[in-house]
């Protein structure tokens, strides 16, 4: 484990891959600051893996006490995750996107849940910030937030943690966009935990931005399926379809929102099929949430 300024060992490590995130990474790190100081409980070591950045991401990260900063010249999330893992020493491991802010109780709950000997993956509950989103975007997330992937055993979309035994399930992060889904599928439902606290994801502002995000997701899912050897990463289209039918039965007033969700999802899949997946490990994201 990594020793802090007071000679004590860290209770966990937080890995933050970051690509041109100078506008948002400060907020992310400030939420972690109470747990990077000597004597804090739990105390975490934080590694920011700035990769391919053209802005002041690394400088902003270095301005925060208790943060180790890696300046990687190549822009690749999978490379950043692996380099960050190599620089960290403590367990459990928590992987956090640079634009995500954890609520105060989220980090202690994650560390507590993942500090045992069992192979586990965990994440807090998600909260979508739709305050600046257009009606179609709000309609999409009204449905998306009701799907099993979000409500049951979510371990992605911005943050997930692994116990030591859980991290031993794989050697390195593969060169995939969908690292969160890859990790989730390595664990049975009973090995997933939803912990106390929340993390906030800023939803895209416009339908165009939403579609770009969903194209990225569709490409990531396709890359994950191609990486599959034994069907553990098989698509979940059938279960999603059943969930949508059940949602309409329970809440028929959501029919317009379901129509938006289906239209966006089908359009994104069609566009993803037409685009090359040559750079599956490179960064793609919604910049509308960072202005």
- In this prediction the pTM is 0.85
- List, for residues 127-138, the tens digit of each pLDDT value: 999 999 999 999
Average pLDDT, the chain: 87
Q: Where does the pLDDT of residue 284 fall: very low under 50, low under 70, confident under 90, or very high at 90 and above?
A: low
Residue spans of alpha helices (H) in 38-134: 57-62, 77-87, 106-114
Instruction: Give the residue among 96, 44, 48, 99 at the shortest CA–CA distance from 72.
Output: 48
pLDDT tens by residue, 236-276: 556 788 889 999 999 999 999 999 999 999 999 998 888 65
Helices (H), the chain: 25-32, 57-62, 77-87, 106-114, 135-144, 148-151, 164-167, 179-184, 207-227, 237-250, 255-274
- Pair of tokens at residue 6: 């007071």
CA distance 56 to 43: 26
Asked whether the beta carbons of 11 and 44 are under 8 A apart, the reply is yes
The predicted-structure confidence for 151-188, as pLDDT tens digits, reads as follows 765 656 789 999 999 999 999 999 887 788 889 889 99
Dihedrals phi, psi of 51, to nearest 5 degrees: -135, 125
Do residues 194 and 171 make contact, with C-beta atoms less than 8 angstroms apart?
Answer: no
State which of 4-18, 75-89, 211-225 shows the largest mean pLDDT: 75-89
């Amino acid at each position: 484990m990594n020793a802090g300024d007071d000679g004590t060992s860290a209770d966990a490590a937080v890995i933050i891959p970051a690509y041109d995130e100078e506008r948002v990474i400060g907020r992310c790190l400030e939420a972690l600051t109470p747990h990077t100081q000597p004597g804090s409980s739990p105390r975490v070591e934080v590694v920011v893996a700035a990769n391919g950045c053209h802005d002041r991401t690394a400088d902003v990260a270095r301005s925060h006490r208790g943060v180790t900063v890696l300046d990687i010249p190549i822009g690749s999330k999978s490379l950043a995750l692996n380099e960050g893992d190599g620089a960290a020493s403590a367990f459990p491991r928590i992987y956090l996107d640079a634009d995500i802010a954890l609520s105060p109780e989220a980090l202690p709950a994650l560390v507590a849940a993942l500090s045992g000997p069992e192979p586990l993956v965990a994440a807090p509950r998600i909260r979508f910030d739709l305050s600046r989103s257009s009606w179609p975007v709000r309609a999409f997330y009204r449905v998306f937030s009701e799907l099993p992937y979000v409500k049951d055993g979510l371990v992605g979309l911005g943050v997930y943690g692994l116990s030591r035994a859980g991290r031993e399930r794989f050697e390195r992060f593969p060169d995939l966009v969908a690292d969160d889904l890859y990790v989730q599928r390595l664990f049975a439902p009973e090995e997933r935990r939803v912990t106390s606290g929340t993390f906030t994801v800023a939803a895209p502002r416009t339908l165009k931005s939403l579609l770009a995000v969903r194209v990225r997701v569709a490409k990531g899912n396709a890359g994950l399926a191609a990486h599959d050897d034994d069907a553990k990463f098989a698509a979940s289209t059938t279960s999603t379809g059943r969930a949508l039918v059940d949602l309409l039965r329970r809440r028929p007033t959501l029919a317009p929102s379901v129509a938006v969700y289906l239209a966006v999802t089908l359009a994104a899949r069609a566009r993803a099929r037409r685009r090359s997946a040559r750079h599956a490990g490179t960064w793609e994201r919604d910049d509308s949430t960072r202005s």
